[in-house]
Amino acid sequence: MRRADREGLTQLRRAAFVSLVAALLGVINTLLQEYAPIVQVSPTTTGPNLHVGSTAPLWAGLAIGLPLLGLELLFLRFAFRALLRFDTTFSTPSGLSLLALAGLPILAAGYALLIAALLQAVGCAGAGNPVSLSCLLTPTFSGAVGLLVIGGLLTLIGYVGVLVGIWRFGTHFDNGLFKAGAILLIFPLLALVGAILLLVGAARALERLPPKGAVATFS
């Protein structure tokens, strides 16, 4: 059992490190969008017009954000599977982590279509001109919304299960840092603190385990 505990904590620590990197990039991306939003809406007498800015944040999410989330989910699934050998309460989080992983490719396809739809809309309106709804509401945009909704729901449901699994780490190891970290991961701007708590919690839990290779003695 101690070997499974060590493996589970090691995988959780890897997931927390990936989550920390992703949270840092997420904060930077949020700050950049405050100064250069992807889309701005301006009302007119004939309806709202859109001003499409840089699609760089969407490209960053597609090329960096989603792969980091996938890596985090993969490490967490390994962590749950390790503890599942001796603790069946990790069965549901393990299954739902797979659901979240299945939703990521759909989410990625939705992001790719959304970028394509925005570029088509800019081409339709002409560079530098406001984009009308007629230029934006195309089959490409509709397909993007559909994929984003489906992929987003699958990933969201799966990630809720993952957070439950992290909470159960706190119960399994009697460590409140895991529970606090799981709660903070819910909030994008607090995910950075949540990831740090998970790293500290994993380090403390590993310190409480017998040294690797130690032989248990019985009196």
pTM score over 0.85:
no
> What's the CA angle centered on 104, arms 144 and 8, to 5 degrees?
165
In this structure, the dihedral spanned by the alpha carbons of residues 174, 178, 182 and 184, taken in order and rounded to 10 degrees, is 120
Answer whether residue 93 is part of any domain: yes
Answer whether residue 55 is part of any domain: yes
| C-alpha span between 111 and 149 (Å, rounded) | 11
Answer whether residue 218 is part of any domain: no
Answer whether residue 101 is part of any domain: yes
Answer whether residue 213 is part of any domain: no
Write out the chain's pLDDT in tens, 219 residues.
678 999 999 999 999 999 999 888 887 777 766 665 566 666 665 556 666 666 667 777 788 889 999 999 999 999 999 999 889 999 999 999 999 999 999 999 999 999 888 888 888 877 667 777 777 888 999 999 999 999 999 999 999 999 999 999 999 999 999 999 999 999 878 899 999 999 999 999 999 888 766 544 433
Answer whether residue 214 is part of any domain: no
- Neighbouring residues of 159: CB distance < 8 A, sequence distance ≥ 6: 73, 100
Range of the domain at 161: 2-208
Answer whether residue 6 is part of any domain: yes
